[in-house]
Chain A
């Protein structure tokens, strides 16, 4: 296992210590820490890192809250629940590229339905896909739409591990259902929340196809993610050594972000239910 997962990482680590581009005739030549030094002072890397983190944190945050609401709803008994459960998973089952193309059309200026609607309301062209301060929100929206169902499913699985009797016992102790949410549901769901948080944050940090198809990283690089930048370095600039460095740099930042999150959780004592 360690080998399967570790190998590509080791390969990148090795590559990031080498110059491997058209200039070296695509033959890796060791260049000390030159790639890493370049990374530290590469403004585009840091801007992209911030944009990626912004995308990840905001979309995963919204997804968690929405998914929680959906999971709680789907955990109740009501007619037609089974069908709705299956339906909610649809966005997730759709290939990302298809979905991204769909959103691109929806936000298209001037033909997409959003612009049509805005136009008929007299709100003028919104140009949501070419407004550097707003376009990243469209990428967040697309990501939320696609992955919320998946998180909802994980949380639902977690909710179903909580025996009904616990809610009964809690009510008999004098607690209301709102109090039960805080005292019973959330603490017992914590492992599932953390799991989806970790899982989704890692995924969002590597976001590529969604952005590539929806905005191509634009406008003006305002939605470019680290994966996109690494891809650019490899495929357009044919600089494989530096591409590997960008990739690894992003990975290190992600680990730092997760480590920071874990530290905060541990300090706030929220992680205790995990250790039982």
Chain B
């Protein structure tokens, strides 16, 4: 385990932003911090980077406690949500600045920069200012800068949130190729569950400064520990049936199938997505979202069913999963 956070607490004024946060990330592992905005994801990254100090708790990299080490000597490669490129320097100088400060020789600098520009296909942008680049190019410059840092840890703060959906999908494999699965731990912050599922080995789902659940994407999907996790992971969202006897039952839209012997429902609306379609129906147990094959013919009155074993049961008061 090369990155380890233990019982981290952080307050801003009278606001608890992080509460008792524990996290460990192994070499080459990518852990996504997933959660709604304002839940403390960026703060966690800034603490790891040394840009803010925790009120309590320890952070260690390769077994060494780094809390007392200032950010400039911590060796983390970070990609900021805003990219934080230096606006007065062209791409080459943006990349060069850190190398210069860290005392690398001119010849070595030039070689590393021309290498990285090639890897990221930025050769033609080398002399351009950040303001002259497209969003995707800026993001790649930010990646390049983090790569050149030779970091012990990679920290990525919503690196794709400023890009359009198509570009995001194109860049995911690139990110995997360059940063994830190397020898460093990667902490990837996002509020997009799909992105977290696609990139991370494990997902830490955060809410109100706490980790609600941490586990592989499969664990979070198949065995969410709380209603919040169940609702956050998987699209379309999990259905929650009308509670009975203090128990709330959840069933995923993709676990529901059409079945003549099932409960009958009235069709409210229908979205066709090509390979699949999403139905919204009204049943005696409340409204349900259903995902079924795109070529299925659907009538106004349908019958649906699901396996008992696909149900997720939660305690109505605490929202916690009831053991099956």
Which A residues are within 8 Å of any B CB, using their own CB? Answer: 163, 165-166, 168-176, 179, 183-184, 187-188, 272-273, 276
Contact = CB atoms under 8 A, between A and B. Distances in A.
Given A163-B82, A165-B80, A179-B101, A172 B87 contact: no
B221 to A, nearest CB: 33
B86 interface: yes
A168 B84 contact: yes
Interface string B99-120: 0011000000000000000000
Main secondary structure of the interface of A (DSSP, over half): helix
A163 B51 contact: no
B71 A171 contact: yes
B164 interface: no
A165 B82 contact: yes
B97 A183 contact: yes
Contacts of A183: 86, 97
B88 interface: yes
Contacts of B101: 173-175, 179
A188 B87 contact: yes
Contact of A172 (B71, B85, B86, B131): B71
B177 interface: no
Given A276-B129, A276-B131, A172 B88 contact: no
Interface in B133-186: 145, 149
A175 B84 CA distance: 15
B84 A169 contact: yes
B196 interface: no
27 contacts: A163-B82, A165-B82, A166-B84, A168-B46, A168-B49, A168-B71, A168-B78, A168-B80, A168-B84, A169-B80, A169-B84, A169-B86, A171-B50, A171-B70, A172-B72, A172-B149, A173-B98, A173-B101, A173-B102, A174-B102, A175-B98, A175-B101, A176-B72, A183-B86, A183-B97, A276-B87, A276-B129
B51 A173 contact: no
B84 A184 contact: no
A184 B71 contact: no
B76 interface: yes
Interface string B63-76: 00000001111101
Interface residues of B, number: 27
A217 B252 CA distance: 88
Contact of B88 (A168, A170, A175, A187): A187
A71 B100 CA distance: 29
Interface of B: 46, 49-51, 70-74, 76-78, 80, 82, 84-88, 97-98, 101-102, 129, 131, 145, 149
A276 B87 CA distance: 9
A276 B88 contact: yes
A134 B74 CA distance: 54
Contacts of A173: 72, 97-98, 101-102, 145, 149
B82 A172 contact: no
Given A179-B101, A183-B97, A276-B129, A174 B73 contact: yes
A171 B78 CA distance: 11
A168 B70 CA distance: 11
Contacts of A168: 46, 49, 51, 71, 78, 80, 84
A84 B97 CA distance: 36
A183 to B, nearest CB: 7
B14 to A, nearest CB: 15
Given A165-B80, A166-B86, A169-B85, 6 more contacts: A169-B86, A172-B71, A172-B72, A172-B78, A174-B102, A176-B72
Nearest to A162: B87
A172 B88 CA distance: 18
Contacts of B88: 187-188, 272-273, 276
Contacts of B129: 276
Nearest to A272: B88
Contacts of B131: 276
Contacts of B78: 168-169, 172
B99 to A, nearest CB: 9
Contacts of A176: 72
Contacts of B87: 166, 188, 276
A165 B98 CA distance: 15
A163 B74 CA distance: 22
The 4 closest A-B pairs by CB, nearest first: A173-B98, A165-B84, A169-B84, A171-B71
A273 B85 CA distance: 15
A35 to B, nearest CB: 47
Given A166-B84, A188-B87, A172 B97 contact: no
A175 B72 contact: yes
B78 to A, nearest CB: 5
Contacts of B46: 168
A171 B305 CA distance: 57
Q: B46, B50, B87: which has the most chain A beta carbons within 10 Å?
A: B87
